[in-house]
Structure 1
């Protein structure tokens, strides 16, 4: 049809792109151009004010930088002091543990001398000690190695970080140890720490403790047991759990069968507990009569 206006009127968005500048800005620019020039003192005052503001901001930044730089050596010294203190405590603990092991061996030698080297009582005692973790054992077994997921580069900081969920937890080591026990293990150790009936595997902060001694990745769970122990472990729920952790979080694990493994004795003596019958008198029953 001729003689008619456009069929579609421009919408608000099209009008904004066509005239992006508000007319008020153009009117203000015209007034400034047509008005008298600003006095020199006013221009000088504006420049001076900007200069004062820039100087004040620079001073604030300089003071903040000096405080940060001054505090960094102090925090570094505090961190280094804590590290040295922790290392010293660990060294003292290792020395005490070595003394305890030497005394334990001396007691075992005196006991063997008292009971007789080939006596049946001594053989039975040594078997009980090996079963409870109080004596070292030697035999064929398996090693299950579990380690954190490979570190990745943080795009923000550029540092190597372990991905979320990729760190081995205490419950993972508990599951591995329980799976080996269920597969027929006779003795189990985690990074050289022998497990007993009262052993604990737990987390303290970011570290995993086995009987209150820290262990780090990679974690080696060593077990002595029957020949088919590794197959039973991998086919059981613990093996399936490890495969799931590797597929979902990237946690690495490997298994190997070894001959002539040596598992040390437990680091601490296992407290002996005895069951005793309850000798307290039972309450006299009260019967109601009619």
Structure 2
């Protein structure tokens, strides 16, 4: 058959055969499946909605309770801290009062001893011996010229729990062995009397760290640490600047930023060392 050259008009509606080949399921099945899925989602949302609301309420309640407890904890901590600070201050006041009473009684004992021993030659000799021993033990206040060595912590000094480390948490501090080295060098240089932070150094006095405190004879001292030494100023300075302590602290100052200074002083006054308990005493025998 020959074509007439005219466009053949096609039927826009698919034929039954094409419909059977391309559409395997009736459209009604698809519509039903869509309705079931929509209904399932709706039912699930309606079921989970109350649980979500309840969960949100529980979370809010827990957060609120935690915030209230944290606030109470902070308040309780501040109250405990204030109470401890008050107790510490009361204890310090009692210590100062007892120390003043001790010094007063010690002065009275010294005066009575002088009156009792200065009456004869034998008593005067004993009194001179006692004074010499007391001077060596640092039991008397002294005044004179000398040298002052100052060690200063850098800013932001932390509390120490391990004195074997110089740096804790990235912060550098003066250690007890630094002060010990300086004191030993001053003794070796000819110092007659030494005090650290206003505490006289005697034969049984220790310099050590405990936690975040520097203790000299179990008394806390704070930065800047003043090491005062009475003696011949020129001789002390000449020997100290060539000592291992000077080299050590100069290096520590340059490397870690610890303050280190040495100065002369023409008028130093050092307090007496704290008296020690009498361990042994004997009654002198009368000469025959």
Report the TM-score, using the length of structure 2 for normalisation.
Answer: 0.72
Secondary structure of the residue aligned to 1:89 is helix
Counterpart among 176, 179, 186 of residue 182 in structure 2: 176
Q: CA deviation at 1:115?
A: 3.9
Give the 3 Å change call, closer, same or farther, for CA 270–39 of structure 1 in structure 2.
closer
Q: Specify the alignment match of 1:260 in structure 2.
A: 267
Q: Specify the alignment match of 1:204 in structure 2.
A: 210
Q: Specify the alignment match of 1:93 in structure 2.
A: 95
Separation (CA, whole Å) in 2 of partners of 1:142 and 1:65:
57
List alignment gaps of at least 5 residues for structure 1: 1-33, 153-161, 275-290
Q: CA deviation at 1:271?
A: 5.2
Structure with max Cα Rg:
2
Give the 3 Å change call, closer, same or farther, for CA 131–251 of structure 1 in structure 2.
same
Separation (CA, whole Å) in 2 of partners of 1:259 and 1:196:
23
Q: Are 2:227 and 1:221 equivalent residues in the alignment?
A: yes
Q: CA deviation at 1:91?
A: 1.1
Secondary structure of the residue aligned to 2:241 is helix
Q: CA deviation at 1:273?
A: 7.2
Q: Specify the alignment match of 1:192 in structure 2.
A: 198
Q: Specify the alignment match of 1:244 in structure 2.
A: 251
Q: Are 2:135 and 1:135 equivalent residues in the alignment?
A: no
Contact 1:198–1:270 at 8 Å: present in 2 too?
no
Counterpart among 88, 111, 114 of residue 112 in structure 1: 114
Q: CA deviation at 1:179?
A: 1.5
Contact 2:202–2:273 at 8 Å: present in 1 too?
yes
List alignment gaps of at least 5 residues for structure 2: 1-32, 158-167, 282-288
Secondary structure of the residue aligned to 1:168 is coil
Q: CA deviation at 1:220?
A: 0.8
Separation (CA, whole Å) in 2 of partners of 1:165 and 1:179:
27
Secondary structure of the residue aligned to 1:214 is strand
Separation (CA, whole Å) in 2 of partners of 1:165 and 1:235:
29
